[in-house]
Amino acid sequence: MKNLIIKGVGLFTIGIGFILSIFFIGNLFCDRSICTGIPPNFNFSSRALTIAYLPFAFWFLITGGGILLRREWARYSFIIMCYFFAFLGLVIFITIFLLPSRFSNNFKLIFLIAETLFLIVLPVFFLFFFNQKVVKTVFFVPQEFQLKRPKGLYFIVFVHILGGLFYLFLAFSHQKLPITTDLFLSGIPLIFFLIFIALLNFYFALGLLRLKEITWVICVFYHTLNIMITTLQILTLPDRALLEAMPLILGDSPQAFLFSTRVLYLLSLLTSLLVLIYLGFQKRFFFKSK
C-alpha cells in the first residue's frame, strides 16, 4: 500500500509540474500578464517574471522524479513542499473566510471545503506519511553523499556569505537608497535591521561550515520564517502599495522598481526553500550523536 501511495504522489507531483511548465512557458510567447494588481497605466511585459516563476514548476518535476526513484533528498523536498502548501492553504482559508465575497454563501462554503481538503488536509496527511519509519526505509541516500562533510554545504555557506554582503550593501548604500535611513520597522531604523540580518547570515555561514547543531536550528527557523513572510508579501502586497511605501527610490522608472522587487521576493523564497531542503537532507551531519 505504501509503495502505491509513493508512486501516486510521484506521478501526481510530476503532473502538476508538467502543467505549470506548460502554462509558464506558454506565457512566454503571449502578451497576457500573469501578474495581478498592476496599475492600469503600467504597460510592461511579464515574460521576465514568468521565467522567475519557472523554478517552482521545475521543483515539482524534480521532486516527483526523485520520489519515483526513491531518493532521500526528494522525500525532504516533498516534506518542505507540504509545509509550504499547508501554510499557503491556511492563509487562503483565513482570507476567503474573513473577507466579504461577491459569490453566494453556498459557493463560498464549497470552495472553502475543497481548499481545506487539497491545501491543508492532504499536505498534513503526507507530512505524517513521509515521516513514518516504515516509509523512510523505502528511500535511500546515494553513495556519493556518504561523506564526512557534504560538498553541497559549501554552496549553502556561499549563499549566506553572498546574502550577508547584499544586506550590508543595502545598509550602507543610503546615499543612493535613502530609504535605509528614512524607513523604520517598529521604531527601529531599517539600516540597523539590515546590518543585523547581514551579521546573521555571516554567522550561518561560519556555523554551518563548522557543523554546529545550534546554527542548524536557528538557520532552519530563519528560513522557515522568511518563507512565511515572503509568501504573505507575494500574495497580499499589491504593486500600488509598494509604490506608495517606497517613493524615495522609484526615480523615473516605477516599472523597473516593481519588477526588481517581485523578482527579489521570488529569489528569496526559492533560496529559503532550497536551503531548508538541503539542511533537512543533511541533518545527520549536524546531529551525529542522535
Tell me the per-residue pLDDT of 63-88, one tens digit each, with 9 for 90 and over: 999 999 998 889 999 999 999 999 88
2-16 confidence digits (pLDDT tens): 889 999 999 999 999
Q: How far apart are CA 257 and CA 246, in angstroms?
A: 10
Q: How many angstroms separate the CA atoms of 165 and 171, rounded?
A: 10
pLDDT at 275 over 90: yes
- Dihedral of the alpha carbons of 237, 238, 241, 247, in degrees to the nearest 10: 100
CA distances from 12 to 4, 20, 93, 121 (A): 12, 12, 23, 16
Percentage of the chain lying above the pLDDT 90 cut: 32
- For residue range 141-176, list pLDDT tens digits in order: 655 445 567 778 889 999 999 999 988 887 776 544
pLDDT of residue 43: 39
pTM for the complete prediction?
A: 0.71
Average pLDDT in the 182-199 region?
70
Average pLDDT, stretch 227-253? 70
Q: What are the extents of the domains in the chain?
A: 2-143, 147-285
Can you read off the three cell numbers belonging to residue 32?
A: 497576457
